[in-house]
Structure 1
Amino acid sequence: MHFDFTDLRLFVHIAEAGNLTQGAAQVFLSPPAASARIRALEDSLESQLLYRGNKGVSLTQSGETLLRHARIILRQVDYLRDDFTGPNNDRSGHVRIFANTTAVTEFMPEILAHFLASRPGVTIDLQERLTHDIVRAIRDGTADLGIVSGDIDQTGLEAIRFSTDRLLLAVPLGHELAKRKSVAFADTLAFEHIGLHEGSTLLAFLRGLMEKNGYERALRVKLRSFEAMCRMIEAGVGIGILPESAARRHMKTMQIALVGINDSWAVRERYVLVRSIDALPGAGRALVDELVLNAAGGSK
Structure 2
Amino acid sequence: MRPDFASLALFIAIAETRSITKAAQASHLALAAASRRISQLEEQLGARLLYRTARGVELTPAGSALLAHARTLMEQVAHMRADLSDYVKGGKGVVRVQANTSALAQFVPEDLASFARAFPAVRVSLEERRSSEIVQSVLSGATDVGIVVEGAPVHGLQCFAYRGDRLVVVLPRRYPLRGKRVAFARLLDHDFVGLESDTALSRLLTEHALAEQKSLRLRVQVKSFDVVARMIQARLGIGVLPETAARPFARALGLRLVPLSDPWAERRMLLCVRDYQQLPAIARQLVDHLLPK
Q: What TM bracket, shorter-length normalisation?
A: 0.5 to 0.7
Separation (CA, whole Å) in 1 of partners of 2:118 and 2:127: 22
Distance in 1 of aligned mates of 2:67 and 2:191? 48
For the Cα contact (< 8 Å) 1:168–1:260, is it kept in 2? yes
Counterpart of 1:157 in structure 2 is 157
| Mapping for residues 59-78 of structure 1, pairs under 5 Å | none
Gapped regions of structure 2 (runs ≥ 5): 6-65
Partner of 2:73: 27
Q: Which amino acid aligns with 1:258?
A: L
CA–CA distance in 1 between the matches of 2:209 and 2:230?
A: 24
Q: Which residue of 2 aligns with 1:41?
A: none
User: Any gaps of 5 or more consecutive residues in structure 1?
Assistant: 7-19, 30-76
Deviation at 1:120, TM superposition (A): 4.2
Q: Does 1:229 align with 2:275?
A: no
Contact 1:194–1:240 (8 Å) recurs in 2:
yes
Which letter does structure 1 place at the counterpart of 2:137? A
Residue 192 of structure 2 is aligned to residue 146 of structure 1: no
In structure 2, the CA distance between the partners of 1:153 and 1:221, relative to structure 1 (3 Å rule), is closer
Q: How does 1:1-300 map to 2 (within 5 A)?
A: 25-28=71-74, 85=88, 89=91, 92-177=92-177, 179-197=178-196, 200-210=199-209, 213-215=214-216, 218-293=217-292
CA distance in structure 2 between the partners assigned to 1:153 and 1:224 by the alignment: 22
CA deviations 1:10-55 (Å, max 9, x no partner) are xxxxxxxxxx9988754228xxxxxxxxxxxxxxxxxxxxxxxxxx
Please report how far the alpha carbon of residue 108 of structure 1 lies from its aligned counterpart in structure 2 after TM superposition: 1.7
Task: Give the distance between the partners of 2:67 and 2:170, measured in 1 at CA.
Answer: 49
> What SS class does the counterpart of residue 114 from structure 2 fall into?
helix
Measured in 1, the distance between the counterparts of 2:87 and 2:123 equals 17
Q: Normalization by structure 1: what TM-score? A: 0.63
Residues 24 and 145 from structure 1, CA distance in 2 versus in 1: closer, same or farther, beyond 3 angstroms?
Answer: farther
Displacement, 1:180?
1.5
Report the AA paired with residue 213 of structure 1: K
Distance 1:83 1:126, change over 3 A: closer
Alignment partners' CA distance in 1, 2:206 and 2:151: 16
TM superposition shift of 1:193: 0.8
Residues 130, 210 of structure 1: alpha-carbon distance in 2 compared, 3 angstrom cutoff: farther
1:279 Cα shift? 1.6
Deviations 1:124-161 (A, max 9, x none): 22222222222222122121111012234443321111
Pairwise CA distance, 1:198: 5.8
Distance between the aligned counterparts of 2:214 and 2:68, measured in 1? 46
Root mean square deviation of aligned Cα: 3.4
Shift of 1:118: 4.7
SS of the residue 2:176 aligns to: coil
Q: C-alpha offsets along residues 193-228 of structure 1, whole Å, 9 cap, x if unaligned? A: 11124654423443455466311xx11122333222
Identity %: 35
Q: Deviations over 1:233-263 (max 9, x none)?
A: 2232211010111122322333221122233
Aligned length: 224
Counterpart amino acid of 2:146? G
Q: Which is greater in Rg?
A: 2
- Taking a change above 3 Å as real, the CA distance of residues 103 and 198 of structure 1, as seen in their structure-2 partners, is same
Q: Residue type of the partner of 1:253?
A: A
